Amino acid sequence: MAGKILIIGACGQIGTELTLKLRENYGNEQVVASDIREGNEELMQSGPFETIDATDGRLIETVIDKYKVSEVYLMAAMLSATAEKAPMKAWNLNMDSLFHILNLAKDKKIKKVFWPSSIAVFGPTTPKEQTPQTTIMEPSTVYGISKQTGERWCKYYHDKYGVDVRSMRYPGIISYKTLPGGGTTDYAIEIFHEALKNKTYTSFLSENTSLPMMYMNDAIKATIDIMEAPTETIRVRSSYNLSALSFTPKILAEAIKKEIPDFKIDYAPDFRQEIAGTWPSSIDDSQAREDWRWEHDFDLQSVVKEMLAGVKAQFA
């Protein structure tokens, strides 16, 4: 690789594991982690770290010059549930950070950009089952509006300025190393912590709310695969649908019960139910599978086993 990689938002749920995997693949010194706050010990000690506010374009440029960065993964964002509580702050973070990176790529300061979109780009008028790659998109959340807008700008910068930006619409990502913050899909992580601690969980989504989900290892594999794919295979320059699993809180609870027979779940839907109700139940990601050979590895029961073992090891 000609230059170094910069991860912005490296201390978040996905950023942490992405940074560690990229360091394993390309070498610790090749991958610069950055975030507004410090991350876990492994991340902080395994390679270079810079404190960056993702809305500070000048500082980002200074760090890019300092390390001779050629690729940026922009992982900083305010997620769906938190963004509803601070709409303008979410909009500014989610959009300003993207424009800084797209403009640096337009000015040839960097060569390649990864920017994640989300299933939140879809809304109540979108077909819910096997949601197609190209379909009606009328998001009703601040986060969804910012992601849909971001997708259009990615496509625009690619078509008008030749910016090599690559993107996918993440479903809910399930992991145990770093907790997510402020998402609607976070129940699918909390449930494992509570199942092990208290053998009971109160879900903030109703029992039959089906959402697209994915294990972290698959999300990291997809993210690195799309960045390594030959340019000509990336035919979608807004953002790819991406899918692995779809389940409801009830189905997840049943899968956990297979491992912890006396686990119990009840339901107290809150404001996040309204958000989840506007999102797809399942996603058609055949274009990603065709264009850059995306394939997922983890099914529901293997996710449950991995999560229980991972969370348990943290208690020890």
Least CB distance from residue 94 to ligand AKB, whole Å? 11
Do 240 and 229 form a contact (C-beta atoms < 8 A)? no
Complex with ligand AKB: residue 31 or 242, whichever CB lies closer: 242
Give the closest residue to 88 by CA, choosing from 34, 14, 145, 13. 145
Mapped to the 3 state alphabet, what secondary structure does 89-132 carry? HHHHHHHHHHHHHHHHHHCCCCCEEECCEEHHHCCCCCCCCCEC
Give me the helix-helix angle, 87-106 and 57-67, nearest 10°: 40
Complex with ligand AKB: residue 9 or 172, whichever CB lies closer: 172
Binding-site ranges for ligand AKB (CB under 6 A): 79-80, 118-120, 143, 170, 172, 183-185
Query: Cα–Cα distance between 5 and 27 in angstroms, integer?
Result: 10
Least CB distance from residue 181 to ligand AKB, whole Å? 10
Complex with ligand AKB: residue 72 or 121, whichever CB lies closer: 121
Least CB distance from residue 184 to ligand AKB, whole Å? 4
Q: How far is CA 237 from CA 82, 94, 96, 111, 116, in A?
A: 27, 18, 19, 15, 12
Query: Cα–Cα distance between 70 and 64 in angstroms, integer?
Result: 8
What is the C-alpha R_g of the chain? 19
Complex with ligand AKB: residue 49 or 204, whichever CB lies closer: 204
Least CB distance from residue 14 to ligand AKB, whole Å? 9
Residue 153 burial class via C-beta count within 10 angstroms: exposed 0-12, middle 13-18, buried 19 and up: middle
Does 26 participate in catalysis according to the annotation? no
Least CB distance from residue 244 to ligand AKB, whole Å? 13
Side by side, the strands of the sheet bearing 211-215 are: 172-174, 211-215, 245-247
Residues in the chain: 316
Complex with ligand AKB: residue 47 or 280, whichever CB lies closer: 280
Catalytic residue among 67, 73, 143, 240: 143
Q: Which residue is nearest to ligand AKB (CB)?
A: 183
What positions carry a catalytic annotation?
143
